[in-house]
Amino acid sequence: GAGVSQTPSNKVTEKGKYVELRCDPISGHTALYWYRQSLGQGPEFLIYFQGTGAADDSGLPNDRFFAVRPEGSVSTLKIQRTERGDSAVYLCASSARGRGVEAFFGQGTRLTVV
Amino acid sequence: AQTVTQSQPEMSVQEAETVTLSCTYDTSESDYYLFWYKQPPSRQMILVIRQEAYKQQNATENRFSVNFQKAAKSFSLKISDSQLGDAAMYFCAYRRGYNQGGKLIFGQGTELSVKP
């Protein structure tokens, strides 16, 4: 596809369940980012991949959150034992290498934990 | 640590008029980038304009321009000839320089409404 694709668009899950959120970056983009946006707030950084490896995971809030990018393209954000406080929009972005390059965002996954 | 602050939760402008959104940031670094992103109800972040810290000239993109005051750590966005389609959340964002990782640090956002 032409842009960053995130699936599902919306996800409702029960407290304590496990969820996976998927991000398909723009083809050829080596950098991939996950952000979390709570209601009425700006996005907060979670994790950054350069290729297959997590170059910076300093934004992951706790060990219930994990992300992978096994082949350097698609990434999955995994949340275990979901809590109501995890409810937010999860945004994915990708960019090419290079100085000053733009990050392109997907439309996000709205996660609601009930 | 770097921080970005937007002190205007909401702003309103009349169609065809000009509005300025404020942003301040804090950093000890000399090489960085600043951005303004627009987020409509579709949730997708759209880049409006970017500024490289080493460039003194203010960036301009059609009706959008910035006032970059590096010493004051201020980065405001001016929207001229406002249109109904400009109504959205606007986020100011900071990114460290090249080869420092590309994560963005966002402000809290300003909700812009445009009155016909």
Q: What's the angle, vertex CA B99, arms to CA B55 and CA A32, rounded to 5?
A: 110
Residues B32-90 pLDDT 10s: 999 999 999 989 999 999 999 999 899 999 999 999 999 999 999 999 999 999 999 99
Among left, alpha and beta (phi > 0; psi -120 to 50; other), residue B31 is: beta
pLDDT of residue A2: 80
Question: What CATH code is assigned to A5-98?
Answer: 2.60.40.10
- For chain B, list the domains and their CATH numbers: 3-115 (2.60.40.10)
**8 Å CB contact of B101 and A100:** no
pLDDT of residue A51: 87
Q: Tell whether B106 lies on the interface with A, counting CB pairs under 8 A.
A: yes
Nearest to B103 among A33, A89, A108 (CB): A33
pLDDT of residue A96: 86
Chosen for mutation from B3, B43, B47, B92 (greatest number of chain A CBs closer than 10 Å) is B43
Q: Which residues of A42-55 are buried (b: 16+ CB within 10 A; e: fewer)?
A: bbbbbbbbbeeebe
Residue B99 or residue A8, greater confidence: A8
Q: Is A24 helix (H, G, I), strand (E, B) or coil?
A: strand
Specify the pairing of strand A10-13 against strand A109-113: parallel
List, in order, residues 6 or more apart from B38 with CB less than 8 Å away: B45, B46, B48, B86, B88, B89, B90, B91
pLDDT of residue B63: 97
Q: What's the angle, vertex CA A104, arms to CA A12 and CA A22, rounded to 5?
A: 30
